[in-house]
């Protein structure tokens, strides 16, 4: 059997310890499947004395992760610290400079620095792998770079943040308002240290950036995504959607058009009986459409110790076997600059607004929609107390630009209170 593949793990949080446990528990199985032993020789983290639920006493310790990357007894660096720059970026670049392969779960770092790091890795003839950076245990990157290599990808879409899906599912099932469920999620430890990474859609948008780059051969540019979080979704929106046979999801959608790459991460309504509509709790789902295979649906746990560590080990195993492909599925030099495009495909929209209770208010709103070129499919005025009236409108097919134009006109009507909520109804 070949010499062992020696790992240095930078970061011993939830995922790092998950990797340690897999290597310790499945040493014999890994050796059989990889054709060589896989061993951990050194680790690095912020706190040495912390009880992590796994025995790391047999591994060399480095306080500085860069020093770990430079050790002679480390062949492959596993970066699991997180953060778009700082120590994570430093250890990744140090490993590449030392001629060592890197496996990372760091979506933020790759969404911001991915093209530069891929260029550096290819110049150094080393691998940079990141299956665990997108959708936890779902092998979506492998599906794009290997299983669907014979397809021209036409669309990538999905639910890529389990916390947001948990919040929306919990609001629906329990009839609880957003703020209550947000606090519940915080108490359960589901939210990032900066909750806006989750509920603001940033975490999911990092993932969509990477998938779009692989799917369409573009340089990853996080800033090119149209981004909106779930903070303004009310339990009333969820109830109204259910009445329409729909469910609300934080949905990422990317497609290449003649005008450029459309990328959005925003709340959308999907058919309740569709695969995405039936997705519950913290589960993730990615839908990929190719010109040869049609549509495939990948579903599984999007986070957690075991699922994410499993994805890390899939990359480690590929490198142990000698399987090496460019980080984004094709040479970094061939990835094209992103030309960002706003979605122009017409689709129905759901709109919720509050109107002043006065004669002619609905007529003014309808006139503003007409001036924006939008026709109304359905309109509902709900019971109310006081001077404000909640109104739900479902439009015929229109564009996001037209919706934005209409909401701008609403401010001139004198009858719309606050900012309306508008969500696309996405065909699946």
Residues with active-site annotation? 207
C-alpha 201/C-alpha 358 separation (Å) is 37
C-alpha 20/C-alpha 11 separation (Å) is 11
CB 20, CB 13: distance < 8 Å:
no
Identify the DSSP state of 347: B
Pairing of strands 38-44, 60-61: parallel
C-alpha 120/C-alpha 152 separation (Å) is 27
The three-state secondary structure class of 154 is strand
Return the half-sphere exposure (C-beta side, CA atoms, 13 A cut-off) of residue 171. Answer: 29
C-alpha 194/C-alpha 294 separation (Å) is 38
C-alpha 248/C-alpha 271 separation (Å) is 9
What residues form DSSP beta bridges with 268? 249, 424
C-alpha 194/C-alpha 229 separation (Å) is 14
Angle among Cα 399, 401, 407 to the nearest 5 degrees reads: 105
C-alpha 70/C-alpha 75 separation (Å) is 10
Pairing of strands 101-104, 76-79: parallel
Residue 16 token pair: 């790092």
CB 336, CB 169: distance < 8 Å:
no
């Amino acid at each position: 059997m070949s010499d062992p593949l020696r790992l240095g793990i930078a970061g011993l949080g939830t995922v790092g310890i998950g990797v340690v446990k897999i290597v310790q528990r499945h040493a014999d199985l890994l050796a059989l499947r990889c054709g060589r032993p896989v061993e951990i020789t050194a680790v690095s983290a912020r706190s040495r004395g912390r009880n992590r639920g796994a025995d790391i006493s047999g591994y060399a310790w480095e306080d500085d992760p860069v020093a770990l990357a430079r050790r002679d007894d480390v062949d492959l660096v596993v970066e699991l610290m997180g953060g778009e720059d700082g120590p994570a970026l430093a250890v990744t670049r140090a490993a590449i400079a030392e001629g060592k392969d890197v496996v990372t779960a760091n979506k933020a770092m790759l969404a911001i620095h991915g093209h530069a790091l891929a260029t550096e890795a290819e110049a150094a003839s080393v691998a940079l792998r990141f299956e665990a950076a997108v959708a936890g245990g779902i092998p979506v990157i492998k599906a794009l770079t290997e299983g669907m290599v014979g397809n021209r990808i036409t669309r990538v879409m999905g639910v890529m943040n389990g916390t947001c899906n948990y919040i929306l599912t919990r609001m629906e099932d329990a009839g609880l308002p957003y703020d209550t469920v947000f606090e519940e999620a915080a108490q359960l430890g589901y939210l990032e240290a900066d909750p806006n990474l989750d509920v603001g859609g940033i975490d999911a948008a990092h993932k969509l950036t990477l998938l779009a780059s692989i799917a369409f051969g573009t340089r990853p540019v996080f800033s090119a995504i149209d981004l909106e979080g779930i903070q303004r979704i009310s339990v009333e929106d969820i109830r109204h959607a259910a009445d329409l046979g729909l469910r609300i999801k934080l949905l990422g959608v990317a497609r290449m058009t003649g005008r450029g790459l459309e990328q959005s991460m925003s709340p959308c309504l999907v058919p309740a009986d569709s695969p995405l509509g039936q997705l519950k709790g913290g589960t993730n789902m990615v839908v990929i459409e190719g010109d040869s295979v049609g549509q495939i649906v990948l579903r599984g746990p999007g986070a957690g110790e075991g699922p994410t560590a499993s994805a890390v080990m899939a990359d480690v195993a590929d490198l142990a076997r000698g399987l090496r492909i460019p980080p984004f599925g094709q040479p970094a030099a061939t990835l094209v600059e992103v030309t960002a495009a706003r979605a122009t495909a017409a689709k129905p929209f759901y709109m919720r607004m509050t109107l002043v209770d006065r004669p002619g208010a609905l007529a003014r709103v309808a006139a503003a929609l007409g001036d924006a070129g939008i026709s109304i499919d359905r309109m509902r005025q709900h019971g109310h107390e006081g001077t404000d009236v909640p109104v739900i409108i479902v439009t015929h097919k229109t564009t996001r630009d037209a919706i934005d134009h209409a909401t701008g006109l609403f401010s001139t009507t004198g009858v719309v209170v606050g900012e309306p909520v508008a969500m696309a109804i996405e065909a699946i």
